[in-house]
Structure 1
Amino acid sequence: MNRAFSSRWGFSCLSTLLTLFTVTLCLLLAAIWQLPPVKTLADTPLQAPLRIFTQQGDLIAEIGEKQRLPVELSEIPEPLIQAILCTEDQRFYQHIGVDFIGLARAIRLLIVTGEKRQGASTITMQVARNFFLSKHKTFLRKFQEILLALKLEQRLTKQQILTLYLNKIFFGMRAYGVKAAARNYYGKSLHQLTLAEMAMLAGLPQAPSRNNPIVNPTHAVKRRNHVLKRMFEHQVITQHEYDAALRAPVTAQRHGPKIIVQAPYAAEMIRKSLVERFGEYITYHAGLSVYSTLDTHKQQAANQALVKGLMSYDHRHGFRPPTINLKQLLNTEQLTRWQAALKTIPTLGSLQPGVVLDISNQSAQILLENGTMVEITPQSARWALDHPSQDTPNQSRILTARLSTGDVVHLQPQSDQTWALSQMPKAQGALVSLDPHTGAIQSLVGGISYELSHFNRATQAWRQPGSAFKPFIYAAALDHGLTAATLINDAPVVLEDSGENELWRPHNDTYHFDGPIRLREGLVHSKNLVSIRILREIGLDYTRQYLGQFGFDMKRQPHTLSLALGTGSVTPLMLAQAYGLLAAQGTHHPTALIQQIIHPHQGPLKAIQEHAINFNTPSQHPHTSTQLSASTAFLVSDILKDVIQRGTGRQARILNRNDLAGKTGTTNDKIDAWFAGFTPDLVSVVWIGFDDNQPLKEFASQAALPVWIDYMRQALHHHPIHWFIAPNDIVQIKINPKTGQAARGGSGHFEYFKQGHEPNSAELDSSIQDSTPAESAIDTLY
């Protein structure tokens, strides 16, 4: 009986063992079956952010959740490698992917203490987990991690595994990999790091949040010192190096990508275009490098010109009382509260917020955000004498009249190391500049500050162009048979064409009328009545069809004669495209913002490049039966050249160039101010206005033209002076400036005409005039 029992017990044990073996084998096979093939590791790209550059390679933006800068092992300093090995896996070069000695030690400590005091994951196991496996802590995942680590060690060298780890591991602050960590914490390259900084970074992967030296310096120093101790114990550093690094202060600060050129509005346009084309994952994680068409020098010039112009405009319209007062925080025991409050104050460029601590007629003491005390004098604040709602004080009392203790103000540093009172501008603006030969956008600014407003006024602000729209009406007229010498009556008129079933009495800005003048003079001096008469003569239907070729959204243009005065809506980019067609002498070039897209593994994306480089507005390829001829483009350009020489744009003569052409644009009540101008090589458009449409109280020649001049002064620095060559069908004839007819004798001056449209001295005067007195010219204009 005992023998039978023993036999049954032995059979039962054997059966149990076989079952356990079978189950274990099945689990092992299942785990192995679920493992990804190691060869895919070479095909698994490191997730890296989108990086956008100027055409010269200067960084504009870095966009992506994971900030990673891939680096080769040979580019990483040896002390940093040793710091990480001593901390994370000291037997990395001895084990086979799994450190069984370390694993046994960790298990023993777990059994003895009941706590997990020592990790058992090797660097190889961490690579396996980070690349292939989930973050869920289960026995199956740990088993798979061990198996995959063994496979990795068979297929890859130690150097390859270490390179993957140093590029993949998370260091906190959105930094993945050692190079991104060095930049984000210290703003340095890897070889610029000190030993103490390397030890600080090496201690982060264990617990990036807890050991963050910026957020938790106490824990971070303890972890850093632990790393240094391990390095000293393994004889990686000397006693002297160890002691010096222990004494080193915490120098970590929050750093980001080193943006060389500020172009956030253009960067956002590119980002949006890429997401629409490739999707979010490829855009943000594939490590694309996008080289834009932006020119570094021109973009910087555009930024400076717009800010300077808006600051100048703001100062011309007086000082506004400060809206924030921190008097309740102003005592020496609450400076930290004061500094925290100042950090929330919006600023712009070199402007710095500060708070008035003490004030007298002679000076005001201002404490800046960084704790520096500076002084301003009445002379540095004399622009603030003008105030829109207060009486003008004596200059000696300007500080006490305008400021109070506790007021938050903005200061502007001066070249002589002093400070001047300033304020944040309220007006907004946009600047767009492009190459007419290629359509490439050279610079684009969509507002005075992207941080304050993401609204891109260069592409999203639909504003009335005013007289800046007139050149396209004149182009339609020249292609309809009129000439630059055609006489048009500049005289008052009353119309029934307001679109509101009431009489319309348009007038010139000055209320001055010159009578019959040549078409050229009408555009040079921006005569509203001349533009209206021209449009009435050539017809609204023809003109609207003609204007479509310039890229305007005709749904936003009026169906009345007010079209001649630019009462429709355009964006600055759209207007720049239209002027670009003039500067390109009738040749259309799609607007481009992207020059090249480079994938880190595939190289230039040639297959999609043709479709990826164009950034077009919906109406940029209009269907129209009309086309701007080279001869018409030349004639309009030549007239606009006169606008600079002797018309509304004559301030631009300060640039000392004879190859400039352009047009001002001021809308009703001075709500919008424009200047659109070009050379044969560069088109630039400036818009100034308020987002809420309040009046600027200035003409375009005061508000917009100075910005254009400042920009073009820098942008054209290396561009030679040259002008368009007249097309073969353009002739030049001396005319009588009063009649527009061919001159008889030696008097007169030369005018350009299309061949076949030149005047004949035997003909009667060709003119467009009223046949009835101006007061009763309701039914007819001519």
Structure 2
Amino acid sequence: MSLKGRVLLLVPALLGLITISAGLVGLQSVRKIVLATPEPIVVQAKSVTVVASNGTLLRPFTTPKGYWRIPVQLDDVDPRLLTFLLAYEDQRFYEHNGIDKRAMLRAAGQLILNGRIVSGASTLTMQVARLLSDQPTRNAAGKIQQIVQAQKLETKFTKREILELYLNHAPYGGNLEGVRAASWAYFGKEPKWLNLAEIALLIALPQAPESRRPDRFYERAFHARARVLDRLLIAGLVTPDDADRAANAPLPGARHDFPMLAPHVAQELKSVATDRSLVKTTIDYDLQASLETHITQRSAGLGKGFSIAVMVADHQSGDILASVGGPGLLSGNSAAHLNMTKAVRSPGSTLKPLIYGLGFEAGLAHPNTMIDDRPSAFADYTPENFDTGFHGSMSISEALQMSLNIPAIAVLDKVDPHRLASRLQRAGAAPRFLKGAKPGLAMGLGGVGLTLEELVYLYGAIARGGSALNMHIKHEVDVTASKSRVLSASATGLLIKAMQQKTDRHHVHRGNLIYKTGTSYGYRDAWALGFDGQHVVGVWVGRPDNAPAGHMTGATAALPIFFDVFARMGTRPHPDLDGTALMSNAELPTHLKRFGKTTSDVADAGARPVIAFPRSGTELPLPDAASVALKVRGGSAPFTWLADGRPVAMKALRRESLYHPEGPGFSTLTVIDAKGRTDQVSIRLTN
């Protein structure tokens, strides 16, 4: 080695001697240099990392410069790796202040005596300083800066924090930085689950990350790992048998793919993760993994061009537990990149439960109210049933469970499509109509655009007794404040009873599940949505390109997957299915025994009751113990007033009544006259 080279390598030792001498004679110059030197920039860009609710990695992303730098904490690493790393790299890590003076003197003496480098003197703190500053250290100025910055780091951070910085920034070949990225890339697992052979390789790689990459230089990596194991054996940290087995274990010949679970969710969250690298979700890892495998297999069975989307949420907490936007980004499906949970589609018959619920809330109907299924025209709209036949007179519960179109449109005609659109918005949905179009009767049969996510919101509100909740997928979201009421509690209870199907068409008991299927026009969308006492599930099957899908229906394509999802979670009873019997048709008030005519009721239109006060959309202040005046014009006395489906005035002869609300919030007021004619308004009561 040349004289210049030896002098350069002596720089660390000479600086160590200078530091010792300065301390002995009381000089402060070196210390002043340390204090005046800014520490390296430790806020390095990290991989945005999306994790499940239990912290399990769902999907990491590269940094803006293309590096895999997945954040890791000491508690997430096998403790043996930390012990062995310090034994191999920096035995006095917890004793020195960034510079190991004894090691520097030893290295200098060995260099002088042998004419070559026998051992290094760089501490882990010095290595961290080099990694963070990214400055060359093969010249005297660079080495001096590294030493000064190492001491600066020691004054700013704890030993634990410095060790953590090393584990997050050490190079492992290619675009891998940090032990967690290396562990996933080379072994396909977290660094807390490593074996001895894997630990030894991860200790060996940072010294020469490019020339020791096992996927490119197998022999070099093999021998470098063996040297680490020899040192650990000499230090008494491993047994001869363990060291021998680890030294002969095969090395990874190629890099593993990084996890890519819930890819659509992760991509969406990554785009908004501007202030942090770790994004914790509400996703249940095991459920998500199980459903992704299942959906990929199911999609392949449907044929080319088909896709399946599934969403599962806890309707009590609002946590979204699984979200499968398609068969997977790597499935080979040409539309795999599309997140079909957010695609705007026709909902088919899935809005019928809400239509009937609004009818219950308005006092127009009851699950056991009889309704006619017969050829009917509603202004310029003439619907037909899915089977093109007519089924005569039946209860509303039967009409709902058979998903008949004409009875549903008859009820929607009375409750008003605008009210249906408004309640969808309360649930968190944004109904889409053709340009220039307004809510109309066609909404009841799918003539509106909604997403699977929005329908899950709606059915989640029904499951919660009519109260919407801000469903969320980010773990930190505060959901203590409930959103608007979609249906009154009493109307929702009746609706759930009406939807209950104790057996499906195959006579399988489904007592805990309340669900509805739907099929859009042209067999383009197949739906199944429903819930039990805790979970709400939505399933969509179809073609992302909106092409017809043969004769695929919600019952044949989506419902089996819906049942599969609940089979993985188990079912829980719903409180509204408590066994309490509904009033029979004979027990109902006269105006609820049979639903009104299915054609527009034009007779005696001028005498229909109209709520004069309050007007729909009014906001009224609500002092303590306040009363709201109710006024009706037209119609025939006596009048029955309902608030959110509950009677507040029965058979009142006067046209004025009082309503004593329980508290602030939205409220739906309904008046029914002696002939069963109704009017309805929605108001908001404020403190």
TM-score when normalising by structure 1: 0.60
User: Aligned AA for 1:265?
Assistant: H
Q: Distance in 2 between matches of 1:765 and 1:307?
A: 48
Q: 2:527 aligned with 1:661, yes or no?
A: no
User: Aligned AA for 1:672?
Assistant: D
Equivalent of residue 391 in structure 2, options 485, 489, 514: 514
Q: Distance in 2 between matches of 1:568 and 1:209?
A: 57
Q: 2:38 aligned with 1:36, yes or no?
A: yes
Distance verdict in 2 for CA 1:152–1:541, change over 3 Å: closer
Instruction: Determine the structure 1 residue equivalent to 2:314.
Output: 435
The SS at the match of 1:704 is helix
Q: Distance in 2 between matches of 1:33 and 1:107?
A: 32
Q: 2:325 aligned with 1:446, yes or no?
A: yes
User: Do the aligned partners of 1:313 and 1:703 also contact (CA within 8 Å) in 2?
Assistant: no
CA apart distance, 1:704: 0.6
Equivalent of residue 767 in structure 1, options 571, 593, 596: 596
Q: 2:266 aligned with 1:267, yes or no?
A: yes
Instruction: Determine the structure 2 residue equivalent to 1:528.
Output: 405
CA apart distance, 1:117: 12
User: Aligned AA for 1:60?
Assistant: L
User: Aligned AA for 2:329?
Assistant: Y
Distance verdict in 2 for CA 1:734–1:240, change over 3 Å: closer
Alignment of 1:279-298 (within 5 A): 279=274, 282-284=275-277, 288=278, 290=280, 292-296=281-285, 298=287
Q: Deviation string for 1:441-470 (max 9, x for gaps)?
A: 222211111334564535421110000111
User: Do the aligned partners of 2:424 and 2:486 also contact (CA within 8 Å) in 1?
Assistant: no
Instruction: Determine the structure 2 residue equivalent to 1:185.
Output: 186
Alignment of 1:449-468 (within 5 A): 449-452=328-331, 455=337, 457-468=339-350
Distance verdict in 2 for CA 1:175–1:193, change over 3 Å: farther
Distance verdict in 2 for CA 1:105–1:555, change over 3 Å: same
CA apart distance, 1:573: 1.1
Distance verdict in 2 for CA 1:201–1:536, change over 3 Å: closer
Alignment root-mean-square deviation, CA: 4.7
Instruction: Determine the structure 2 residue equivalent to 1:491.
Output: 374
Q: 2:46 aligned with 1:71, yes or no?
A: no
Q: Distance in 2 between matches of 1:126 and 1:224?
A: 20
TM-score when normalising by structure 2: 0.67
User: Do the aligned partners of 2:52 and 2:283 also contact (CA within 8 Å) in 1?
Assistant: yes
Q: Deviation string for 1:721-772 (max 9, x for gaps)?
A: 7544599xxx94332xxxxxx27xxxxxxxxxxxxxx3239x9965314489
Alignment of 1:305-704 (within 5 A): 305-314=294-303, 426-452=305-331, 455=337, 457-484=339-366, 485-493=368-376, 497=380, 505-556=382-433, 559=438, 560-595=440-475, 609=476, 612-613=477-478, 627-641=486-500, 644-645=501-502, 650-651=504-505, 653-654=507-508, 656-697=509-550, 698-704=552-558
CA apart distance, 1:553: 0.9
User: Do the aligned partners of 1:83 and 1:198 also contact (CA within 8 Å) in 2?
Assistant: no
CA apart distance, 1:686: 0.8
User: Do the aligned partners of 1:99 and 1:122 also contact (CA within 8 Å) in 2?
Assistant: no
User: Do the aligned partners of 2:205 and 2:212 also contact (CA within 8 Å) in 1?
Assistant: yes
Instruction: Determine the structure 1 residue equivalent to 2:127.
Output: 126
User: Do the aligned partners of 2:70 and 2:168 also contact (CA within 8 Å) in 1?
Assistant: no
Instruction: Determine the structure 1 residue equivalent to 2:564.
Output: 710
Q: Distance in 2 between matches of 1:709 and 1:242?
A: 51
CA apart distance, 1:158: 8.5
Instruction: Determine the structure 1 residue equivalent to 2:632.
Output: none
Q: Which has the higher helix share?
A: 1
Q: Distance in 2 between matches of 1:250 and 1:771?
A: 78
Distance verdict in 2 for CA 1:117–1:568, change over 3 Å: farther
Q: Distance in 1 between matches of 2:225 and 2:316?
A: 58
CA apart distance, 1:524: 2.0
CA apart distance, 1:541: 3.3
User: Aligned AA for 2:149?
Assistant: L
User: Do the aligned partners of 2:341 and 2:453 also contact (CA within 8 Å) in 1?
Assistant: yes
User: Do the aligned partners of 1:106 and 1:120 also contact (CA within 8 Å) in 2?
Assistant: no
Instruction: Determine the structure 2 residue equivalent to 1:208.
Output: 209
Q: Distance in 2 between matches of 1:140 and 1:431?
A: 60
User: Do the aligned partners of 2:327 and 2:336 also contact (CA within 8 Å) in 1?
Assistant: no
The SS at the match of 2:583 is strand
Instruction: Determine the structure 2 residue equivalent to 1:356.
Output: none
Q: Deviation string for 1:222-242 (max 9, x for gaps)?
A: 545666787899999999998
User: Do the aligned partners of 2:410 and 2:599 also contact (CA within 8 Å) in 1?
Assistant: no
Q: Distance in 2 between matches of 1:586 and 1:105?
A: 80
Q: Deviation string for 1:236-294 (max 9, x for gaps)?
A: 999999888776654454246678xx433333444445x1xxx2xx422xxx472x333
User: Aligned AA for 1:734?
Assistant: S
Structure 2 runs not aligned, ≥5 long: 1-26, 63-67, 602-676, 678-687
Q: Distance in 2 between matches of 1:666 and 1:132?
A: 61
Instruction: Determine the structure 2 residue equivalent to 1:373.
Output: none
User: Do the aligned partners of 1:97 and 1:153 also contact (CA within 8 Å) in 2?
Assistant: no
Q: Distance in 2 between matches of 1:159 and 1:434?
A: 39
Q: Distance in 1 between matches of 2:113 and 2:188?
A: 42
The SS at the match of 1:706 is helix
The SS at the match of 1:468 is coil
Q: Distance in 2 between matches of 1:29 and 1:57?
A: 43
Distance verdict in 2 for CA 1:35–1:473, change over 3 Å: same
Q: Distance in 2 between matches of 1:199 and 1:613?
A: 44
CA apart distance, 1:77: 6.4
User: Aligned AA for 1:302?
Assistant: L
User: Do the aligned partners of 1:186 and 1:253 also contact (CA within 8 Å) in 2?
Assistant: no
Distance verdict in 2 for CA 1:247–1:575, change over 3 Å: closer
Identity %: 26
CA apart distance, 1:94: 9.5
CA apart distance, 1:34: 5.1
CA apart distance, 1:218: 3.9
User: Do the aligned partners of 1:186 and 1:252 also contact (CA within 8 Å) in 2?
Assistant: no
Q: Distance in 1 between matches of 2:153 and 2:424?
A: 66
Alignment of 1:138-217 (within 5 A): 140-149=141-150, 165=166, 168-172=169-173, 174-178=175-179, 181-187=182-188, 192-194=194-196, 200-217=201-218
Q: Distance in 2 between matches of 1:156 and 1:579?
A: 51
User: Aligned AA for 1:148?
Assistant: Q
Q: Distance in 2 between matches of 1:134 and 1:493?
A: 82
The SS at the match of 2:215 is coil
Structure 1 runs not aligned, ≥5 long: 1-24, 315-424, 498-503, 596-608, 736-741, 744-757, 773-781
CA apart distance, 1:662: 1.5
User: Do the aligned partners of 1:305 and 1:710 also contact (CA within 8 Å) in 2?
Assistant: no
User: Do the aligned partners of 1:182 and 1:190 also contact (CA within 8 Å) in 2?
Assistant: no
Q: 2:101 aligned with 1:96, yes or no?
A: yes
Q: Distance in 1 between matches of 2:264 and 2:506?
A: 27
The SS at the match of 1:148 is helix
Q: Distance in 1 between matches of 2:248 and 2:416?
A: 84
CA apart distance, 1:130: 2.6
Instruction: Determine the structure 1 residue equivalent to 2:292.
Output: 303
Instruction: Determine the structure 1 residue equivalent to 2:664.
Output: none
Q: Distance in 2 between matches of 1:539 and 1:74?
A: 66
User: Do the aligned partners of 2:409 and 2:441 also contact (CA within 8 Å) in 1?
Assistant: yes
Distance verdict in 2 for CA 1:248–1:183, change over 3 Å: same
